């Protein structure tokens, strides 16, 4: 009897052991599955975080470069690669190996010593002028040990060009104002010293003073016009403008100048009607026709005409048969104060702002300007305006 009970107890214990073992195995399997799932979630979260980080870095307008403690590139965003025109993989390279710019290696050493370097400007080597502003900072851990360096690059090229244009503009304005003022001052001093007592000399001097005063007034008016156009303060009074009649009006105003050089004015403009500001378009045509007379050849011919473009806009042209414009000057003739022949332009009394005013007025109408020319074959200026 006791033996039977003992065997039964052993069987029960064995069954209980195997049940707990199966239970434990199931729990262990479930725990392993949960652990594996947790690890996969962590890995996915890490991948997602890295993807979000890369997306964030690539969306930055500034170039970003992250270096490790060995000065090897750990991360370079899209803007950085675009700044330097790079397509190859940069990870693991030094900044000198990637860019071949020794100056940046010196900047890194400064950043490691001084912890950060701000507003450092560097001019990139190459044919085109390019400027970058670089901010660098050392990355340290809680113990104060350097873990790497971060560099942020900002393209300053446009700002540098605008600053140079501003400086050139101020220098040109100063020169243009100083020349007639010096002449006026010199002739006035001569008159005060006794030349006024000679009627013939006094009249000649006063005419020179008047001519230079008019030149100053014209320059100031052109400067005010340029300022108003560039700032957007000048509004256009848009209305239907009959272009052929406008060309006739401009020709009548400049007929005397044309007759002095024996230049024939030809109006080939069809009966087009533009949607524009009549006074401003008059200013555009007057500048172009006046230039064509002024710089064209004596006994020459000047033609104004037009045609329609595929988009419905009207293209107007002013063509002369003068000496033409050098190829290197074609892209610059619409710049403020740019002169193909400086000495001749000043002798003719121009301000150097006429074509710049033409460009701004046409652009205010939503049009474009351009020039075509070959040396010895004359020049043709084109501008577009919207049709009525």
Domain that holds residue 226: 159-234
80, 204: one domain: no
The pLDDT-based confidence of 1 (bands split at 50, 70, 90) is low
User: What pLDDT score does 30 carry?
Assistant: 67
Higher-confidence position of 281 and 113: 281
Phi/psi-derived region of residue 176, left when phi > 0, alpha when psi is between -120 and 50, beta in every other case: alpha
Could you give the CA distance from residue 172 to residue 183 in angstroms, rounded to a whole number?
17
Domain final position from 192, 219, 234: 234
User: What pLDDT score does 293 carry?
Assistant: 92
Q: What is the domain-level CATH number for residue 300?
A: 3.30.565.10
125, 175: one domain: no
Could you give the CA distance from residue 343 to residue 347 in angstroms, rounded to a whole number?
6
Q: What is the domain-level CATH number for residue 215?
A: 1.10.287.130
Q: 175-202 pLDDT, tens per residue?
A: 778 888 888 888 888 888 888 888 888 8
379, 250: one domain: yes
Q: What are phi and psi of 333, to 5 degrees?
A: -65, -20
| Mean per-residue pLDDT, 94-114 | 85
Percent of the chain with pLDDT over 70: 81
How many domains in the chain? Answer: 3
241, 317: one domain: yes
Does the structure show a pLDDT above 60 at 373? yes
| Mean per-residue pLDDT, 86-100 | 84
The answer to whether residue 25 is domain-embedded is: no
Q: What is the domain-level CATH number for residue 71?
A: 3.30.450.20
The answer to whether residue 38 is domain-embedded is: no
242, 379: one domain: yes
Beta pairing class for 264-268 and 301-308: parallel
| Mean per-residue pLDDT, 309-320 | 91
- State the CB neighbour count (10 A cutoff) for residue 285: 24
Q: Which residues pair with 276 in a beta bridge?
A: 239
The answer to whether residue 30 is domain-embedded is: no
149, 211: one domain: no
113, 140: one domain: yes
259, 371: one domain: yes
Structure tokens at 204: 């000649």
Could you give the CA distance from residue 366 to residue 235 in angstroms, rounded to a whole number?
13
- Of 6-10, 76-80, 309-313, 336-340, the one with minimum mean pLDDT is 6-10
226, 309: one domain: no
Domain final position from 234, 257, 290: 234
252, 378: one domain: yes
The answer to whether residue 122 is domain-embedded is: yes
Could you give the CA distance from residue 371 to residue 375 in angstroms, rounded to a whole number?
13
Could you give the CA distance from residue 118 to residue 314 in angstroms, rounded to a whole number?
52
Q: How far is CA 5 from CA 13, 19, 20, 225, in A?
A: 12, 21, 22, 118
Q: 35-49 pLDDT, tens per residue?
A: 666 666 666 655 555
| Mean per-residue pLDDT, 100-117 | 86
User: What pLDDT score does 349 carry?
Assistant: 52
The pLDDT-based confidence of 81 (bands split at 50, 70, 90) is confident
205, 241: one domain: no
The answer to whether residue 144 is domain-embedded is: yes
Catalytic machinery residues: 175
Domain final position from 184, 219, 234: 234
229, 257: one domain: no
| Mean per-residue pLDDT, 159-187 | 80
């Amino acid at each position: 009897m006791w033996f039977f009970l003992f065997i039964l107890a052993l069987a029960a214990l064995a069954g209980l052991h195997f049940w707990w073992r199966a239970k434990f195995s199931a729990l262990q399997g479930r725990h392993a599955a949960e652990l594996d799932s947790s690890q996969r979630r962590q890995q996915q979260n890490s991948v997602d975080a890295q993807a979000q980080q890369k997306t964030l870095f690539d969306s930055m307008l500034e170039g970003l470069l992250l270096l490790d403690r060995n000065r090897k590139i750990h991360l370079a965003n899209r803007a950085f690669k675009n700044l330097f025109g790079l397509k190859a993989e940069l990870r693991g390279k030094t900044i000198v190996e990637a860019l071949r710019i020794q100056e940046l290696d010196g900047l890194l050493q400064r950043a490691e010593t001084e912890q950060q370097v701000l507003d450092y400007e560097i001019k990139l080597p190459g044919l085109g002028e390019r400027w970058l502003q670089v901010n660098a900072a050392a990355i340290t851990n809680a113990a104060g040990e350097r873990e790497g360096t971060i560099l942020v690059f900002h393209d300053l090229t446009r700002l540098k060009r605008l600053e140079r244009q501003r400086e050139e503009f101020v220098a040109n304005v100063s020169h243009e104002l100083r020349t007639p003022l010096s002449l006026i001052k010199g002739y006035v001093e001569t008159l005060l010293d006794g030349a006024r007592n000679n009627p013939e000399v006094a009249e000649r001097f006063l005419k020179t003073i008047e001519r230079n005063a008019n030149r100053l007034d014209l320059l100031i008016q052109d400067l005010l016009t340029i300022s108003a156009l560039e700032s957007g303060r000048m509004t256009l009074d848009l209305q239907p403008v009959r272009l052929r009649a406008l060309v006739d009006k401009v020709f009548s105003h400049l007929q005397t100048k044309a007759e002095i050089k024996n230049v024939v004015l030809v109006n080939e403009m069809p009966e087009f009607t533009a949607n524009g500001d009549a006074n401003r378009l008059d200013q555009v045509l007057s500048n172009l026709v006046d230039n064509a007379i002024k710089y064209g050849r004596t006994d020459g011919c000047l033609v104004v005409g037009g045609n329609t473009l595929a988009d419905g806009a009207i293209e107007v042209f002013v063509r002369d048969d003068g000496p033409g414009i050098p190829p290197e000057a074609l892209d610059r003739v619409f710049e403020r104060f740019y002169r193909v022949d400086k000495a001749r332009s000043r002798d003719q009394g121009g301000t150097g702002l006429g074509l710049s005013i033409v460009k701004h007025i046409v652009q205010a109408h939503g049009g474009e300007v351009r020039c075509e020319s070959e040396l010895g074959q004359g020049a043709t200026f084109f501008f577009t305006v919207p049709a009525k």
